[in-house]
Structure 1
C-alpha cells in the first residue's frame, strides 16, 4: 500500500513538474524570438541563419541524443527569429517532451508523459490549453488512453498558467467581432473546400521538401540564403516572414484585394517550402493557418461577405487537412482568436463530425 502511494505521488509530482517546465520553456523560447526580432537587420539575419545552419550540420552528423535535440531546438528558435517562414511551436514541444522523459516516472509511462508535455509546450506558447490537449490526443502518433488524457489535461493547464505571467493570458490574436450574415454562411462550403485543398497542397509540398532537404556542410549556405530570400520578398510583401502571425494579423484587420491576397498565399506556401528544402526545421501549424486564413479572407472580400469569419473558417480547414485533425484545428483557431460564441459553436459543429469520421476511418484502416 505504501509503495503504491509513493508511486502515485511520484507520478503526480512528475506531471506537475512537466507542466511547469513546459510553460517556462514555451515562455523562454517565445521571449528569445521576440528579442531577436526586436534587433533584426539583414546582416544579423544572415549571421543567425549561418549559425543555425552550422548547428543543424553538426547535429545531423551525430547520433540522436538529448544534447542534439536541445541544439536542434535552439537552431529552430534562431532561424524563426531571423525571419524563416516556419512556426515557433515545434522547438518548445520538442524540449518539453525531452525534459519529461528525464523525470522520475515508471518506464512504461514515460512516453505518455512526454506526449502530454509536447502538447503543453504548444499550449504555453500560444495560450491554447484545450488545443494542446487535443494535439496530444488527436495529432501525435501515440496510443490513446484515459491516462494520456489526464496527463495531457493536467500538463496543458499547468503550462498555460505558468506562462501567463510571462506571455499574458489573452487571445494570441486580437480581432474585431466577426459577422455572420446569410451570404457568409452560404460561403462556408466553398471556403472549407479551398482551405482543405490548400492544406493538402501545403502538407504534400512540406513532406516532399523535408525528404529532399539539403544536408551536410551545404546547410551553412542554404539556410542563410533561404532566410535572405524570405527577407527579400518581404520588401514587397512585409507580411510573409516568420510563423504567419504577421500575415494573419493583416488578414484579420485589413480588407484584401484578391490579387494581393492570392500573392500572399502563394508567397507563404513557396517560402515555407523553400525553408524546409534548405534544411531548416520548424513548426508548420501557424504557416498552414496563415495560408488558409488568407484565402478565406480573400473569398469573403471578393464575394462581399464577412472576410473575418471566412478567414477563421479557412484557417481551421487548412490546418485540419495539414494535421489530419479537424477538432484540434477548430479548437486551436478558436483559442487563438476568441471569436463570438456563435461562430465558435458553428466551427465546433462542423469539426466534431469531421473528426469522428476521420477517427473511424483511421480505425478501419488499422484493422485491415
Structure 2
C-alpha cells in the first residue's frame, strides 16, 4: 500500500477545501490575536498596580524574569522549531503544548516590562495551529506552507490592527510570487482575521497622530532617515539574528542560569525605568508619549541608545521574542531627537514616523511591510505616503548593500 499523499484532484473539491482552510486560518489568527492581547493587558495591569507600593515593581519584574527563565529552561531541553522551520516544513515535529507555553511566556515577559517585541508569539502560535490543521493528504506542501505563512501574517495583523501589513508580511516570507491569487488570498485572510479584534477593540489606529506640519525640512530628513535607518537597522538585524541563532543552539544544563540572567536583566530594566519609565515594554510607550511631546530632548537621545541595547541584552540573556516594535521605537526616538534638536517641534510626528519607517524597513528587510505597517498603525494621511515610501524603499535598498559588507565583519557576524 502506497504512503504517497493523495491530494484532491477534483477542482471543485480542491477550491472548497482551500476556501475552508483560509477561513479557518483567519478565524484562528484573529482569536490568537485577541487572546494574547488580553493576556498582555492583564500582566501590564498587574505590574502597574505595584507602582503604588515603593520598591515592589522591581521585585515583581525580577520575579517575572525568573519565572520566564525557568519556563524557557524547561522548554529548551528539547529543540523548539522556529516559525520559519514550521513554514518551510523543515521541522519534523511540532510540539503544540510547548510552543503555546513559549508564546505566552514571551508575552508575559513583555507585559512585565522587558524590552522585546511581542509579534513573534502570535506568529509562531498561529503557524503551529495552522500547520496542524491541514493533513498532507489534502494539501500539497506548497499549499500548506502558504496557509501557514498566511496564519503568521494574519496573526500579526490582528495584534496591531494592520491587515495590509499582515498580508505584506505573508508575501515576504513565502517564495517570491507574482500570482495575484496568492496576493489576494493573503489580503483576504489577513483582513478577515483583523475583523475579530476590531469587533472587540474597534478600528481606531494603534497610535493617534497629532497635528503636524509637512515642510521642506521634512524632505531633507528623508535622506538622513534613510542613511541612519539603513545603517542602524541592518546592524540591529544582523546582531539580533546572530544572538537568536546562538540561543537556539544552546541547551542550558543548569536550571538556575536562565532565571538568574533574566532576573538580572529585569532588574537592570527596572533601574533604567526609574529615570526613563518609557523604556518599559516593547516600545509602545516611547511612540505614544513621543508623538504627543511628552518626552524631552535628552530623554529621546537616551531612549534611542538604551532601547536597542536592552533589546539585544534581553535576547542574549535568553529571552525569546521579536524586534519589530523596539526597532520602530528606536527609529522614532532618533527622528524625534532630530526634530527637537533642529528646533522644529511642529514636525516631530513626521520626523518620528520617517525615522521609524526607515529603521523598521531595514531591520525587517522589507520596504513594503515597513511602509504599510507605519501607515496602518497611525492611519497616516495620504500626503505622508510619498515620504514614508521613499524612506522604506531607500532604507531597504541601502540596507541590503550594507548587509553584504557587514556580513564579512567577524565582530558582527562571528563564524559558527
Query: TM (normalized to structure 1)?
Result: 0.91
2:355 to 304, 314, 338: 314
Q: From the two aligned structures, give the one with the greater helix fraction.
A: 1
For the structure 1 residues 107 and 49, does the alpha-carbon distance in structure 2 shift closer, same or farther, using more than 3 Å as the test? Answer: farther
CA distance in 2, matches of 1:162, 1:358: 36
Residue 365 of structure 1 is matched in structure 2 by: none
Asked whether 1:76 is paired with 2:76, we answer no
Residue 120 of structure 2 is matched in structure 1 by: 90
Asked whether 1:278 is paired with 2:317, we answer yes
CA distance in 2, matches of 1:357, 1:144: 23
Give unpaired runs (5+ residues) of structure 1: 363-368
Conserved in 2, the CA contact under 8 Å of 1:178 and 1:339?
no
Conserved in 2, the CA contact under 8 Å of 1:36 and 1:81?
yes
RMSD: 2.5
For the structure 1 residues 46 and 142, does the alpha-carbon distance in structure 2 shift closer, same or farther, using more than 3 Å as the test? Answer: farther
2:195 to 161, 172, 189: 161
Q: CA deviation at 1:356?
A: 8.2
Q: CA deviation at 1:49?
A: 2.0
Q: Secondary structure, in 3 states, of the residue corresponding to 1:144?
A: coil
2:32 to 25, 29, 35: 25
CA distance in 2, matches of 1:328, 1:192: 16
2:153 to 111, 116, 119: 119
Q: CA deviation at 1:359?
A: 9.6
- Taking the TM superposition and a 5 Å limit, the aligned residue runs for 1:62-211 are 62-64=78-80, 65-104=95-134, 105-108=138-141, 109-138=143-172, 140=173, 142-144=175-177, 146=179, 147-211=181-245
Q: CA deviation at 1:227?
A: 1.8
Deviation larger for 278-287 or 216-225: 216-225
Residue 300 of structure 1 is matched in structure 2 by: 339
Asked whether 1:237 is paired with 2:276, we answer yes
For the structure 1 residues 249 and 23, does the alpha-carbon distance in structure 2 shift closer, same or farther, using more than 3 Å as the test? Answer: same
For the structure 1 residues 215 and 251, does the alpha-carbon distance in structure 2 shift closer, same or farther, using more than 3 Å as the test? Answer: farther
CA distance in 1, matches of 2:392, 2:45: 37
Residue 13 of structure 1 is matched in structure 2 by: 20
For the structure 1 residues 157 and 361, does the alpha-carbon distance in structure 2 shift closer, same or farther, using more than 3 Å as the test? Answer: farther
For the structure 1 residues 231 and 276, does the alpha-carbon distance in structure 2 shift closer, same or farther, using more than 3 Å as the test? Answer: same
CA distance in 2, matches of 1:347, 1:310: 10
For the structure 1 residues 165 and 271, does the alpha-carbon distance in structure 2 shift closer, same or farther, using more than 3 Å as the test? Answer: same
Deviation larger for 98-107 or 88-97: 98-107
Deviation larger for 293-302 or 140-149: 140-149
Give unpaired runs (5+ residues) of structure 2: 1-7, 51-56, 81-94, 404-416
Deviation larger for 270-279 or 145-154: 145-154
Q: Secondary structure, in 3 states, of the residue corresponding to 2:336?
A: helix
Say which one has the larger Rg.
2
Conserved in 2, the CA contact under 8 Å of 1:198 and 1:291?
no
For the structure 1 residues 3 and 359, does the alpha-carbon distance in structure 2 shift closer, same or farther, using more than 3 Å as the test? Answer: farther
Residue 34 of structure 1 is matched in structure 2 by: 41
Deviation larger for 219-228 or 89-98: 219-228
Residue 330 of structure 1 is matched in structure 2 by: 371
For the structure 1 residues 346 and 257, does the alpha-carbon distance in structure 2 shift closer, same or farther, using more than 3 Å as the test? Answer: same
CA distance in 1, matches of 2:304, 2:251: 28
Asked whether 1:61 is paired with 2:77, we answer yes
Q: Secondary structure, in 3 states, of the residue corresponding to 1:130?
A: helix
Residue 291 of structure 2 is matched in structure 1 by: 252
For the structure 1 residues 359 and 200, does the alpha-carbon distance in structure 2 shift closer, same or farther, using more than 3 Å as the test? Answer: closer
1:229-267 per-residue CA deviation (whole Å, 9 max, x = no partner) reads 112210110011111000111221116544321111111
Conserved in 2, the CA contact under 8 Å of 1:178 and 1:340?
no
Q: CA deviation at 1:358?
A: 8.6
CA distance in 2, matches of 1:360, 1:291: 22
Conserved in 1, the CA contact under 8 Å of 2:222 and 2:391?
no
Q: Secondary structure, in 3 states, of the residue corresponding to 1:243?
A: coil
